Amino acid sequence: ILLMDINKTDSVAAYYSSSDSINFSKPRFIRVYSGDYSAYAEYKVTVNVHKELPYEFKWHELAQNNSQLAAFSDLKAVACGDDIYVFGKTADGTKVLKSAINDGSAWSSITMNVSLSSDAYQSAVALDGKLYISDGGNVYASADAATWTVASENTDIKQLIGASSKNLYAYTATGISVSKDKGASWKAERLDTDAAYLPKQNISMNVAGVLSAKDVENVMLLGTRDKALKDTVATTWLRTVDYANEDGQWNYLEIEKNKSGKMPWLDQVITCAADTGFVALGSNGKWYKSQDAGLTWKQDAMVVLPAKFAAEGRFAFCRDNKHYYWIIRNGYVWRGRFNIDGWSKED
C-alpha cells in the first residue's frame, strides 16, 4: 500500500506500515498493489470531522413583536413543504400567515377564497405536501392556503385532528374517523373505550415508524380534556397502523397513579415528531421527550427555551422538513434544532 498526498508527489509518498499513524488533515490517495506489483487500484480518502457538538441545541430569534402574529388570540403552526403556515383565531374568523422555512422574519398575509370560522384554525393539518382544514361540515384542501377546494361535504366531520404519513383523521360526534383518500371519504375507527376520554383541547397528532416492521406506524394523539374534569395528566390515545391490514383500533392510555414518566395536565401542551420518538412543549416552559411512542415522558434538560418564551399567551409549535422546531408566541418567532439534526446523513 502506497500513501500519497493530494498532489500525488513522489517526495511525500510512503509505503504503509501497520505501526504507522496517518495524517488525514487533508485528503490522501492510497494505492493498493497486486502481489507482483503489476497492477494497482487507487482510492481517495477524505475524513470529515464535525466542529460542533452533536447534541447542542441552539435557538435563533427570527421575529420580534410581529403585530400580525401577536393579533391572533390563538394559533396553530403547520409545516408544509418549504413553508410555515400560521392559522390564527380572530374575531373576524380564521386568518393565515406564511413564511418560508429559511426565513421566519417576514410573514405574508394570505387572502383565502373561502371564509372560515374563528375556531377553524385548530383543524389545520398537512399531508403529503397539501394543507387540509375542516369547517361547517366541509373538508377543504389547498396547496398554498389561498385557493381551497372542497375535498368532501360531510356534516359528521367536526374537526380534523391530524395525519399519519398516508391518512387523515378527524373527530365526529361519536369518535374518530379516518380518510384514506385525502379527505374524499371517511370511515369510523374503533375505540377501545368511551369517546368521552378523547382530548378536546391542545390536540396534536404525530407518527413514528416501527423499525421492526415495514409499512407500520405508531400514531399518537395527545391533548387535554376540560379543566373542570380535574385531570392531573394529559390525555393520550395510541394507534398502531398497519397499512397492509385494515384491522386495528385506537387505545386509550390508562396511567396508574404511581407510574413515573407522566405528561402533566397543562394549560397548553403541543407535541412534534423527532428523529427518535416524540417531543412536547408545555406552557410551563419545559421541553419533554418520549422515546417509547408516547408511553412515558421526561424533561429534556438539553433544550433551554428562549427567555422571552416565559411570557404569557398561547403559542404554536411545529417541526419543518429540515428538522427545525418552530415556536411562535406573542409576535416572537424562534427556530432551533440539535446540531446533529442538521448533519448530512448518507448511506
> 46-66, pLDDT tens digit by residue?
776 656 666 789 999 999 999
What's the pLDDT score for residue 347?
A: 43
Average pLDDT estimate for 325-329 = 98
Residue 200 CA, distance from chain mean position: 21
pLDDT at site 37 = 78
pLDDT tens-digit map of 165-199: 999 999 999 999 999 999 999 999 999 999 999 99
Cα–Cα dist 170/186, whole Å: 9
Terminal CA-CA length for the chain: 27
Residue with the bigger pLDDT between 4 and 234: it is 234
Range of lowest pLDDT (7-11, 82-86, 286-290) = 7-11
Distance CA 86, CA 94 (A): 10
Q: How confident is the model at residue 341 (pLDDT cuts 50, 70, 90)?
A: confident
Q: How far apart are CA 142 and CA 83, in angstroms?
A: 13
Write down the pLDDT at residue 52. 62
pTM: 0.85
Q: Which residues contact 89 (CB under 8 A, 6 or more apart)?
A: 72, 73, 74, 75, 118, 119, 121
pLDDT digits (tens, 9 = 90+) for 73-89: 999 999 999 999 999 99
